[in-house]
A and B are shown apart, each in its own frame.
Chain A
Amino acid sequence: MSGNSRDAKAAQIRRLLETEGEAVAANTRGFNHGRYESVAKLDDYQGLRDEARAIKEDAIERLPELIDRLRETVEENGGTVYVADDAADANRYIAEVCDDRDADRLVKSKSMTSEEIEINDHLQERGVDVVETDLGEWVLQVADEAPSHIVAPAIHKSREGIAELFNERFGPDEPLETAEELTMFAREQLLERIKEADVGMTGANFITADTGTIALVTSEGNARKSAVVPDTHVAVAGVEKVVPSVEDLQPFVELIGRSGTGQDITSYISLLTPPVDSPTVDFADPDTPITDGETDREFHLVLIDNGRMAMREDEDLRETLYCIRCSACSNTCANFQSVGGHAFGGETYSGGIATGWEAGVHGMDSAAQFNDLCTGCSRCVEACPVKIDIPWINTVVRDRLNRSGDRGQFDFLVDGLAPDAEPDGGAGLQKRLDRRRELPTFRRETLVDWFERRGPAHPPDPDRRVVLYPDLYTNHVLVERGKAAVRTLEALGVEVAVPDAPGAGRAPLSQGMIATATRKARQASATLDPYLDDGYDVVVVEPSDLAMFREDYERLLSEPAFERLAENSYELIEYVYGLVASGADADALAAGDGKSVAYHSHCQQRTMGLEAYTVALLEDRGFAVTTSDVECCGMAGSFGYKEQYYELAMDVGEHLEEQLRATDADHVVASGTSCTDQISDLLDEEPCHPVELLAPGTAGG
């Protein structure tokens, strides 16, 4: 990224933070909070996710066959299926349908796929009045703005902003003010337009091949009206929406509202098997009963390829096709919560999974516009109802962008973290780092040097032997937490080794340099292998490196090498907790004596389900712990150091700062390096690692 484009990116983000940030943050955090509450009510949430995932895997695997079956079914039902190669093909077909029906007006319910092909512009150029009937979409159509969220398209607009827009545009007798007034006004306006519609267009959340049933997940009722009033129904959907049977809809119906807006279920799940048996409602003939005469309906299912069949053949992008467009990955993303889809989005789609969609349907240029905003924090991975590895898709696309040659933006903080083939000298790097950040200070004596100088302690008859992986941050910068880890493990009867070891590859991976990360992974694995052979456990202080060992290496190492390392690697406090639970003397650790602790766990640590060990152990040792529920601190490796993202990172951090300050605790504690750096900047006070409170002989209490 050039200096000019970094400035432009920073300016765009600054403008969105000022104009839309507040409304987007309130709405997305509300949805995200609702998701946690709603999925917790399910008896078997993980089981439903597994089921949903399996259905999608199977459906995409068998897609050509399912499309053939669906075509037969819809034709039996009396409808038509058209598989469009691309947007132009789809638009041409739909325009022909409108032409055949002499349509003057088409009413639409919300459909992202229709946004993808830009059908509105195409039809309007041909004299068809296209009316969005979803209230949020209609607001945007009136305002001539783009959606900022795939499910709630107008979340960037406040009630006041919508009132101003309507009052100015429509000049109602009494100025509109409340949400109720605005909704009722829009309802009436849209009803008049629906009454005069010749064609109704909907999307489809799912389509069943066995019956030709379209499932539409909605709350307003506009999709129902759009499908029932006019005699012609056009449904537009990506080919990936096909599932084998009606029964397959069940897990999705239970998951989609919960995952997206935090609703157990939306008001309406329409299961339409068009042409439907409902009579049309011809308002031009107001006095004839709707049930008089035969209902003669026409139905066109337009399935869009537009790059999807190629995504299906692409090992890394294929998972994108499992996406059910619920928006969980947007709502759970700390960066998205701050800037919304106008920054964190491409031509059509927004949020974490949008990188896959945009790369697949619009191309790499569109994905490149926002791909950097995924920091790989992984919070979306556990939120996704079909368990898509969204950070991996972002990493792969970043890797491809790097290889395409026009980017060259490898930003590393620590020389030792730089990849072997860094194309660009250190001076360039300095320029791209934000001057408002203080760079980490390297310690004169590394953890490895300290350990070597001190020599290993040999506890008599050790129960366990541990190789403490000297991640680059602990080894060079946050050395004290490493020393505390050694003392803690030894006090619990463990024999510890701290060998010189290469980096785990987290930094190159987060920059989309998969080949370099793979090389690092092999080196780290080779260093640890002899210890694993000898029965050592691997203990890791830095959660993002543990996430490499336990999660990311699955993509980088051979299966047996990955499995052995993943199974034998532990987060430090998880391991200490386990030692105490298996009988080690907890009193060897420092006591909290009721001192209060404000704890921010690390994003990847939480995704791995490891936050609870730290909280439990601190509480067991007599600390009063309050945890933050902020998804990510905002720093995320080098992200928050980059000058174009500094303000965004600080905006994300503000939310964390509020929570930490509100606690007014004796100790502020963080598990990750990035979080430590970010909290230091936010609070002007450096937090410590939990182990520094627990280590024997330290000033824990």
Chain B
Amino acid sequence: MSHAAGDAYDRFASRAADYGVELTRTSPDGAAAAIEAAVEGPAVGAPLPWDGVSLPESITTDPSPADLDGATTGVTAAALAVAEYGSIVLRATPDGTEPVSLFPDRHVAVLREDDVVPDMEAAFAWFGETFRQTRDSAVIATGPSATADMGELVKGAHGPKEVHVVVLS
């Protein structure tokens, strides 16, 4: 890992913490345990797209609508993170990253440290290149879902109330 990448991680961690995002940093070997520790209650998941890292068996992949409804935690991969904003990028995949990261009250995202980019310029360079090839979709998610429509700021409007990022370094 380069020095610059380490700086980007520190920046990401500090900005994400501003939004109340919890962070765990671990090696790929420790991924399953870290995910297990971050999960609360029944959990659904979308498989992680990387070799050698997989979700703990307790997590239901290929969930049904009833599973989504009943889950407390959803676990997905994050394709990218933007250090300057403390944001993570979730790709809309056929295995359900979007609903899994959206319906449960708690979202656990798994991120590779090398996928932290410094700023939006770098992120949008990636989006441009990727989307023109694949016509993919993604969401830049920063902190939990929130609303101030009911008179004061409340976390967890339609989406997760809590976000935890497991960073694989």
How far is A279 from B121 in the complex, measured between Cα atoms in Å? 30
The one of A158, A264, A270, A287 in contact with B85, judged by C-beta atoms closer than 8 angstroms, is A264
Q: Which residues of A have CB within 8 Å of B150? A: 135, 139, 159, 162, 179, 182-183, 186
How far is A228 from B92 in the complex, measured between Cα atoms in Å? 10
Residue B65 lies at the interface, judged by CB distance under 8 Å to chain A: yes
Residue-wise, chain A 226-247 has the 8 Å CB interface mask toward B (1 for contact) of 0011000000000000000111
Q: Of all chain B residues, which has the CB nearest A135?
A: B149
The one of A264, A265, A283 in contact with B65, judged by C-beta atoms closer than 8 angstroms, is A283
A265, B85: Cβ atoms closer than 8 Å:
yes
Residue-wise, chain A 243-280 has the 8 Å CB interface mask toward B (1 for contact) of 00111011001100000010011111111111011110
B127, A246: Cβ atoms closer than 8 Å:
yes
Given the known inter-chain contacts A210-B132, A247-B128, please indicate yes or no for A221 contacting B102, CB distance below 8 A: yes
How far is A274 from B127 in the complex, measured between Cα atoms in Å? 15
CB A597 to nearest CB in B, in angstroms, measures 37
Interface residues of A in 309-336 (CB under 8 A from B): none
CB A290 to nearest CB in B, in angstroms, measures 5
How far is A210 from B132 in the complex, measured between Cα atoms in Å? 7
B146, A220: Cβ atoms closer than 8 Å:
yes
A271, B138: Cβ atoms closer than 8 Å:
yes
A279, B140: Cβ atoms closer than 8 Å:
no
A278, B131: Cβ atoms closer than 8 Å:
no
Q: Of all chain B residues, which has the CB nearest A284?
A: B65
How far is A424 from B146 in the complex, measured between Cα atoms in Å? 54
- Contact size range, B: 35 or more
How far is A152 from B151 in the complex, measured between Cα atoms in Å? 11
B145, A219: Cβ atoms closer than 8 Å:
yes
B132, A211: Cβ atoms closer than 8 Å:
yes
Residue A583 lies at the interface, judged by CB distance under 8 Å to chain B: no
Interface residues of B in 84-137 (CB under 8 A from A): 85, 87, 92-99, 102-103, 120-121, 123-125, 127-128, 131-132, 135-137
Q: Which residues of A have CB within 8 Å of B68? A: 281, 290
CB A102 to nearest CB in B, in angstroms, measures 20
Q: Which residues of B have CB within 8 Å of A281? A: 65, 68, 99, 103
CB B87 to nearest CB in A, in angstroms, measures 6
Q: Which residues of A have CB within 8 Å of B121? A: 250
Interface residues of B in 147-164 (CB under 8 A from A): 147-154, 156-160
Residue-wise, chain A 91-111 has the 8 Å CB interface mask toward B (1 for contact) of 000000000000000000000
Q: Which residues of B have CB within 8 Å of A179? A: 150-154
B93, A277: Cβ atoms closer than 8 Å:
yes
CB A285 to nearest CB in B, in angstroms, measures 7
Residue B28 lies at the interface, judged by CB distance under 8 Å to chain A: no
Residue-wise, chain A 151-171 has the 8 Å CB interface mask toward B (1 for contact) of 010100011101000000000
Residue B29 lies at the interface, judged by CB distance under 8 Å to chain A: no
Q: Of all chain A residues, which has the CB nearest B133?
A: A211
A278, B96: Cβ atoms closer than 8 Å:
yes
Q: Which residues of A have CB within 8 Å of B146? A: 219-220, 267
Residue-wise, chain A 276-306 has the 8 Å CB interface mask toward B (1 for contact) of 1111011101111111100100000000000
- Contact size range, A: 35 or more
B136, A290: Cβ atoms closer than 8 Å:
no
How far is A183 from B103 in the complex, measured between Cα atoms in Å? 15
A290, B140: Cβ atoms closer than 8 Å:
no
CB A225 to nearest CB in B, in angstroms, measures 6
The one of A159, A183, A276 in contact with B147, judged by C-beta atoms closer than 8 angstroms, is A183
A224, B124: Cβ atoms closer than 8 Å:
no
Given the known inter-chain contacts A264-B85, A291-B96, please indicate yes or no for A133 contacting B158, CB distance below 8 A: yes
B131, A211: Cβ atoms closer than 8 Å:
yes
CB B158 to nearest CB in A, in angstroms, measures 4
B156, A187: Cβ atoms closer than 8 Å:
yes
Q: Which residues of A have CB within 8 Å of B2? A: none
Interface residues of A in 390-436 (CB under 8 A from B): none
Q: Which residues of B have CB within 8 Å of A276? A: 92, 98, 137
B157, A222: Cβ atoms closer than 8 Å:
yes
The one of B63, B140, B147 in contact with A271, judged by C-beta atoms closer than 8 angstroms, is B140
Q: Which residues of B have CB within 8 Å of A133? A: 158
The one of B65, B124, B139, B144 in contact with A285, judged by C-beta atoms closer than 8 angstroms, is B65
Residue B141 lies at the interface, judged by CB distance under 8 Å to chain A: yes
Most chain A beta-carbon contacts within 10 A, residue among B62, B124, B125: B124
Most chain B beta-carbon contacts within 10 A, residue among A264, A269, A278: A278
Q: Of all chain A residues, which has the CB nearest B89?
A: A271
How far is A221 from B161 in the complex, measured between Cα atoms in Å? 11
Residue A136 lies at the interface, judged by CB distance under 8 Å to chain B: yes
How far is A347 from B128 in the complex, measured between Cα atoms in Å? 37
A residues in contact (CB < 8 Å) with B: 76-77, 133-136, 139, 152, 154, 158-160, 162, 179-180, 182-184, 186-187, 190-191, 195, 208, 210-213, 219-222, 224-225, 228-229, 245-247, 249-250, 253-254, 261, 264-274, 276-279, 281-283, 285-292, 295
Contacts A211-B135, A268-B139, A268-B140 supplied; 9 other A-B pairs, CB < 8 Å? A179-B152, A210-B131, A220-B145, A221-B158, A221-B159, A270-B139, A277-B93, A278-B94, A290-B68
A-B contact list, 18 entries, CB within 8 Å: A76-B135, A182-B150, A212-B135, A220-B158, A221-B157, A221-B158, A221-B159, A228-B102, A247-B124, A265-B140, A267-B141, A271-B140, A273-B136, A278-B96, A290-B63, A291-B62, A291-B95, A291-B96
A-B complex: 10 closest residue pairs judged by Cβ atoms: A159-B151, A221-B159, A220-B157, A221-B158, A136-B149, A246-B128, A135-B149, A250-B124, A286-B66, A269-B140
